[in-house]
Structure 1
């Protein structure tokens, strides 16, 4: 492996700096390499994360931890210099390593521009701020020469390019690309105002070291550090004890047969040859096991539901499992809220597995949060975006049997809402639910998503649970010792299955177990106080009366009475991008919409 150029935490690689992302270093910036560029020995040595539900959903053989080297001078994840163009802060010369103008020493580019009136005394350069990308995730250096020459002839050997800052107004128009040889200029503002002039995408994938042919997308100009240059696509699940996952012979076979090995489960001779050496499978009878495997294979085309097993596990007969990071304790519901809350559980230990499956640029996928919550319905939907053309960019040039993942450990509080009272409330407020559903569809139609590809409206039940979750997160932050960005939510909402639960938890890579500050607040008396404070705070907002007056005809981002002053939390904490919120569904606000669930005086 090459010499180490920087360090990242494993969780950063999964969420922020995965393959295809740009990492700024002190002397230059790099793009993280694809997983097929990793050293095979490093991958084999890395820990295999056991989470069969996620492997089944993602159709992979392994979830591998990020390779870590004990030898500090060497890195384990490949990265490549990007962008390749640098600019000199003194003479403003633009160029790559040439040996004449830009020289490289210890990986750092220096300018000694001999063509300038005053040659640069070996000045350290820095990466240019501008790159071009497209909706398929391709990314490339900005075409400096063709851009400034427009339709004129550009000779990379003779033309001398400079990026001048005229500094008259402080706007983008002040940044000018100048060719000294041809004596022509062009402002960078032209590229931002009309991306058509940049031409078609080249299909370059520098994180995979290749080009993808026949990309018809236009190039789009972005800043190197723009927040929309990389959106990671993550699948996550709470790890459940095996005793709670699957019962009976089918569960045993699912656990012991590799359903991702297509040859193994379709070729009977290969199957018999391999599994006759497995005494547990052979004991059941190869004919019997083969029939069950074929049955399970036929039924495996549907989407894997991650949430329902978690919901039932949190409500199942609670006892501790030795050696398993899943420990819960049932708590009596405070009498004041026993008609609203049906279950209260302190989750003393939990483990979450997060797997990186791809990324997008410019726009996130519209159903990104749906996939995070296990609600995605089909593969076609997963490859559509806000404008119907953004695609999930791959982590490797060829399919790999593994995806990178990370284990996080933590604690939480789980509660469920009274289903009987909830059904009655949903019926009474069905008109408002229809109004929110129309706003939901309008949001996607405005983003030019075809109507048949719009994700289903999660329901008024979900909006209530989601709003209550945000109210509790904001209050728990004040007492638990955790910041708001450290807390996360998982909403369990399904009218047909009778699910109506909220798990608020914290999980970090660095510590096994937890600090105890959150789960301690799940005790009966303490939680009563927390919930009462959260509901009382939701009644008023500093933005009232404007905030409280949002009704069906005024919904913005599918939010009713919800703004930064009252209901919105950190984006990393929310599973729906701070959408589907309305505190008028929780409690009576100053607008008195008469639709509150908690009708407590």
Structure 2
């Protein structure tokens, strides 16, 4: 479009209103165009965001910031859906000179066929569209559906979308052809998608179509499952923390010392007083040394969270020019046996990149999949991710960077491993619920990601409990907080980062870092654990916990654990407060016995 029609914030473009999404405007609705439709001068003039780890993972050369220009339309969009309806006569049609007339971009009805002719009535887009699981989207097939496969002349037919009842239900709506006298209730389309026919493979955001064998599905234009953005995010860490670690290990460690290289205790004794080794982290240096000795190179594109986890645990260091500053705190005495590290993250930068989107169903968290230590077959899911450009191998993707602060802490590995062994039955029950959820959504076994583990459920539930308590004491709203869970049994990762990362002033208020101080964190954690022991929904809420789960959530509801979707990294799934503390039903699977 050449004319200004509205505006969205850069963060909205990445998360909600990216290419392929529908944006409602006062006079019509639009679909955001693909990034290949951006004017070349906007692409070349857009600021480049530097984050090598994301660029390698996505196999792109550049991450481009969303172009912003005052009083000027910067990004293209197209009208969608094409069909409109008149609110007075209920005439259904599109801009073609016969149905409606367009004036200054707005469609008006001047239907002369009614007893009281419409006199320039402004129409509005129809509520119903069709889409498929591969991301294709198109107008509802009004003519085809109304005539029930009988022959019709689309130039002479006049369609009406009538409301024959007072209940407001879908069964009251009927599409009717005044010429052919054919009609059908939209309830039939909801009950049987096969009446809509096969998908045409239309991609209006790219202005093309492709072959598709999926079944069309009827959706509301404003439905939440119209658009799920596929994002890849990272916390920007100092460049020497990962890219050059092998070179640093080779420089600081004697790899030919067989005695130290084969015995962790001896290695620890030899290098524990070396400041350069301590800055990188003894365990990280040990693991890297073993990989070098075995000719195993690190694969950056297989792990996003691992390097971040190690970066938080290194000794504080003055990284010039880096938006990364951490400070270690003493672990509160009360939780000395369960918490290993407490880190105040005084400064951080987060980069998020939009790589595609899905419809009907969201994909599993992309960052989590790239951080998994196990090999996963995600080919089925990837094939359903719709592209935001027509280029097969794009050289750039849009992204945003934001700044903030946070609190990071880790759970005692030995205590956590013991708790996992004691609750293997619960983990099996949660695993069954995990596969059941994905099967009910129509996913094939090859498309189902592995269950993240009972370790993840514990960390995720603890993170939500803390975020709810932090909201009351930090000065941040609940939607301003985010979480990043570092969970891996194989890599012995068990950490939680609760942070705020925004483009405005809420990214640096300082209230969250203040709560990371030892004395403040102790009272914060104590109150958080106490708050999830009881829920206003008990005993019904607590009954969902235990070893007989019917959902991927156990004892978790809006009154005790659920957070805003923008704050949670996993769509409020894999939560259960019974793994944290004793509840009214006392399932005896809590991790914090003395909370």
Q: The TM-score by the shorter chain falls in which range?
A: 0.7 to 0.9
Q: CA deviation at 1:560?
A: 2.4
**CA distances 1:115-157 after superposition (whole Å, capped 9, x unpaired):** 3333321111111111111111111111111111112222121
Tell me, yes or no, if structure 1 residue 415 matches structure 2 residue 409: yes
What is the aligned partner in structure 2 of residue 121 from structure 1?
A: 119
What is the aligned partner in structure 2 of residue 75 from structure 1?
A: 73
What is the aligned partner in structure 1 of residue 141 from structure 2?
A: 143
What is the aligned partner in structure 2 of residue 179 from structure 1?
A: 177
Give the unaligned 5+ runs of structure 2: 250-295
What is the aligned partner in structure 1 of residue 385 from structure 2?
A: 392
Contact 2:546-2:578 at 8 Å conserved across structures: no
What is the aligned partner in structure 1 of residue 94 from structure 2?
A: 96
Cα gap change, 1:377/1:201 in structure 2, threshold over 3 Å: closer, same or farther? farther
Give the unaligned 5+ runs of structure 1: 253-297
Residues 111-120 or 307-316, more deviating: 111-120
1:233 to 226, 230, 233: 230
Tell me, yes or no, if structure 1 residue 403 matches structure 2 residue 400: no
Residues 492-501 or 226-235, more deviating: 492-501
State how 1:10-29 maps to structure 2 within 5 Å: 10-29=10-29
What is the aligned partner in structure 1 of residue 548 from structure 2?
A: 554
Contact 2:57-2:301 at 8 Å conserved across structures: yes
Cα gap change, 1:417/1:149 in structure 2, threshold over 3 Å: closer, same or farther? same
Cα gap change, 1:198/1:468 in structure 2, threshold over 3 Å: closer, same or farther? same
Looking at structure 1, the residues matched to 131 and 517 of structure 2 have their Cα atoms a distance apart, in angstroms, of 51
Looking at structure 1, the residues matched to 223 and 580 of structure 2 have their Cα atoms a distance apart, in angstroms, of 37
Tell me, yes or no, if structure 1 residue 344 matches structure 2 residue 342: yes
Looking at structure 1, the residues matched to 198 and 446 of structure 2 have their Cα atoms a distance apart, in angstroms, of 29
Cα gap change, 1:446/1:91 in structure 2, threshold over 3 Å: closer, same or farther? closer
Q: CA deviation at 1:114?
A: 2.8
TM-score of the aligned structures, taking structure 2 as reference length: 0.87
Looking at structure 2, the residues matched to 556 and 580 of structure 1 have their Cα atoms a distance apart, in angstroms, of 12
Contact 1:27-1:108 at 8 Å conserved across structures: yes
Tell me, yes or no, if structure 1 residue 481 matches structure 2 residue 479: no
Q: CA deviation at 1:25?
A: 0.5
Q: Secondary structure at the match of 1:491?
A: strand
Looking at structure 1, the residues matched to 66 and 369 of structure 2 have their Cα atoms a distance apart, in angstroms, of 20
What is the aligned partner in structure 2 of residue 441 from structure 1?
A: 435
Q: Secondary structure at the match of 1:384?
A: helix
What is the aligned partner in structure 1 of residue 278 from structure 2?
A: none
Contact 1:136-1:392 at 8 Å conserved across structures: yes
What is the aligned partner in structure 2 of residue 202 from structure 1?
A: 200
Cα gap change, 1:300/1:212 in structure 2, threshold over 3 Å: closer, same or farther? farther
Q: CA deviation at 1:49?
A: 0.8
**CA distances 1:383-412 after superposition (whole Å, capped 9, x unpaired):** 428xxxx71111112232111111111111
Cα gap change, 1:442/1:552 in structure 2, threshold over 3 Å: closer, same or farther? farther
Looking at structure 1, the residues matched to 440 and 196 of structure 2 have their Cα atoms a distance apart, in angstroms, of 26
Looking at structure 2, the residues matched to 512 and 325 of structure 1 have their Cα atoms a distance apart, in angstroms, of 16
Q: Secondary structure at the match of 2:107?
A: strand
Residues 327-336 or 529-538, more deviating: 327-336
Q: Secondary structure at the match of 1:120?
A: coil
Cα gap change, 1:27/1:373 in structure 2, threshold over 3 Å: closer, same or farther? same
TM-score of the aligned structures, taking structure 1 as reference length: 0.86
What is the aligned partner in structure 1 of residue 511 from structure 2?
A: 517
What is the aligned partner in structure 2 of residue 44 from structure 1?
A: 44
State how 1:92-491 maps to structure 2 within 5 Å: 92-213=90-211, 215-247=212-244, 303-365=301-363, 367-368=364-365, 371=368, 374-375=371-372, 381=378, 383-384=380-381, 391-399=384-392, 400-491=394-485
Contact 2:325-2:345 at 8 Å conserved across structures: yes
What is the aligned partner in structure 2 of residue 269 from structure 1?
A: none
